[in-house]
Amino acid sequence: MKRISLLALVLLLFIGCRQAPKLYVVDETKRGLITDSAMVVSAREEASKIGTAILKKGGNAFDAMVGTELALAVAFPYAGNLGGGGFMVYRKADGEIGTLDFREKAPLAATRDMYLDEEGNVIPGLSWFGAMAVGVPGTVAGVFEVHERFGTLPIEDIIQPVIDLANKGVVVTKRQQERLMNYIPDFRKVNKDSIMFMANWKEGDTIKYPALAATLERIRDNGRDAFYKGEIAKKLVSFIQENGGIITEEDLEKYEPKWRDPITFEYDDLRVISMSPPSSGGICLAQIMKMIEPFDLHEYGHNSIKTIQVIAEAERRAYADRSYFLGDPDFVDIPLNALMDNEYLESRMKSFSFDKPTPSSEVSYGNVEVIESNETTHYAIIDSNGNAVSVTTTINGAYGGKLFCDELGFFLNNEMDDLSAKPGEPNMFGLLGAEANSIAPEKRMLSSMTPTIVEKNGKLWMVLGTRGGSTIITSVLQAILNVHEFDMTMQQAVDAPRFHHQWLPDIVQLEENAFTKSFKRKIMALGYDVKDYTLPSMGNMAGILVLPDDTLEGGEDRRGDDTAVGF
């Protein structure tokens, strides 16, 4: 953001003003839930309530993370999980920051060409549906790792309310009814027997989860080993193998989450703290924000043609780099510093012009020394001491690969599709992956998940993230800019229409029914191809903003059943 010219700056200093003139005023009537000291925002009210109750009992944000993560596995089987993985970014009240990677891993028996036929073509659906699509789950190890390092309440006290919820059951919402109905044909195709989700559930019905409750009880009593070594591990492996998968007990036994350094960078007076590889989220966000910083978005206006041009062109360049350079840092060397270097990013934007687009065919990865889908969920937590946790968790597709383990009560992920089945060919979300993201045993798949925390002038300011496959990074970007550049409230920032560019396909994707025909005509006249984004929705964001008086504002995404709860 360069809000004012030098001449204007001199004039303003002359008349005694300290800041650039603001073109907008925050509309205080448009705030989301406001609370005094603590908050959880997640995809379901039941999960936000369990997280908040833990905070009320004196637990910290990390205890609440464990409760909320597990509660989502019960209340939001669409994406919440025991059979998937995710990333946590945290900032403690004393300013310490870090991340936990509990992403799934490719099984030991995975091979580079495991999804190709004899002619070397990708076998449709193999990395997407059923047992072959499953990556070694990381969620249970993730929550125990978080609890061991930072938790304060006994683990039984955190898990028990989740078990109670599973036994009591969860009421079906309208959206859930629609989703379940849409996926019944896939459930039928993938599962040998009928599963509980095929029962034509209607809004207002209560679904009980006794098998999941029993699994959680074993985890409560025997810890993470119950999942990775004990009875659950045995049952899970034989279930996966009976269905044609390749995961072994050794895979589960060897799974370890990893603490990693976050990606951090500055934008104006903000410091952004986000997820590092194997997520592309933090690096891409840093690249895009650094590329757009010199432009006066505040003056161009929210979702104006000029603003969208600048952002889409920066996104195009960042996603080109993403597809070439990024992958699991335990397997490939990622030139992190070079990719986030200011001079490099400035040179990447040299070809930008307001007169016409830079065709993606002319934008390759930069001269310095991927793959997604449709179900994931984000939650944001701040506790009353000011500890903040930002977590995105996923089984990748809606209900993962649709394979449901009846005996244990949960869906399995299809995260293997986030690896490049064939480097150089787009995946089902049109994202290209290169060698850096090719399949290898024990490799973590490249992700776009972007759990993020933002400081303003050194103080905790915002905690946010979203689901949405490849659009996650660009949605997180827009929510930050909506508050910082366009003076929206957290709730408005979440509500605002979104757009997205990912290099290839060379299209500006616009949230469905959110942009006018005249806007589309104008941007097309400049040479941009546009397309409505029609998947269920372009992300479901969860955000918390710390207001100047230290109260908290929740941003809950009304594109889903997301709910903020706090006190």
Peptide bond into 137 cis (omega under 30): no
Q: How far is the CB of 468 from ligand DON (least distance, A)?
A: 5
Q: Which CB atom, from 465 or from 555, has the smaller least distance to ligand DON?
A: 465
Instruction: Kindly give the pairing relationship between strand 97-102 and strand 499-500.
Output: unpaired
Q: Which is nearer to ligand DON, 429 or 486 (CB)?
A: 429
Minimum separation from the CB atom of position 435 to ligand DON (A): 19
> How far apart are CB 284 and ligand DON at their closest, in Å?
11
In DSSP notation, 224-247 reads: HHHHHTSHHHHHHHHHHHHTT---
Residues that bind ligand DON (CB under 6 A): 372-376, 394, 396, 415, 418, 447-449, 467-469, 472
Token duo for residue 150: 């930072």
Beta carbon nearer to ligand DON, 46 or 372: 372
243 vs 374 by CB, closer to ligand DON: 374
Q: Find the DSSP H helices in 349-445.
A: none
CA angle 90, 95, 100 (to 5 degrees): 20
Nearest distance from residue 466's CB to ligand DON, in Å?
A: 8
Residue 309 or 376: the one with the smaller Cβ distance to ligand DON is 376
Residues 6+ apart with CB under 8 A from 501: 311, 312, 313, 315, 316, 319, 474, 507, 508, 509
Q: DSSP labels for 3-60?
A: -S-HHHHHHHHHTT--SPPPS----GGG---EESS-EEEESSHHHHHHHHHHHHTT--
Known catalytic membership, residue 466:
no
Closest CB 161 distance from ligand DON, rounded Å: 26
Query: Least separation, in Å, of the C-beta of 450 and ligand DON?
Result: 9
Q: Based on CB atoms, which residue is closest to ligand DON, 54 or 472?
A: 472
Task: Rank residues 406 and 512 by Cβ distance to ligand DON and give the closer one.
Answer: 512
- The dihedral over CA atoms of 76, 81, 87, 90, expressed in degrees to the nearest 10, equals 60
Cβ neighbours for 108, distance < 8 A, ≥ 6 positions apart:
248, 250, 251, 254, 441, 442
* Closest distance to ligand DON from the beta carbon of 472 (Å): 6
Pairwise CA distance, residues 201 & 251, whole Å = 35
Q: Distance between CA atoms of 266 and 532, rounded to whole angstroms?
A: 32
Q: Which two tokens stand for residue 473?
A: 């990074």
Q: Which two tokens stand for residue 187?
A: 């459930």
In order of 94, 166, 375, the CA distances from 47 in angstroms are: 27, 11, 17
* Phi and psi angles of residue 196, each rounded to the nearest 5 degrees, phi first: -60, -20
3-class SS letters over 252-292: HHHCCCEEECCEEEEECCEEEEECCCCECHHHHHHHHHHHH
DSSP H or E run through 191: none
| Rounded least distance, CB 8 to ligand DON, Å | 42
Q: Which is nearer to ligand DON, 90 or 429 (CB)?
A: 429
Which of 68, 376, 393, 452 is catalytic? The answer is 376
Which residues are catalytic, by number?
A: 376
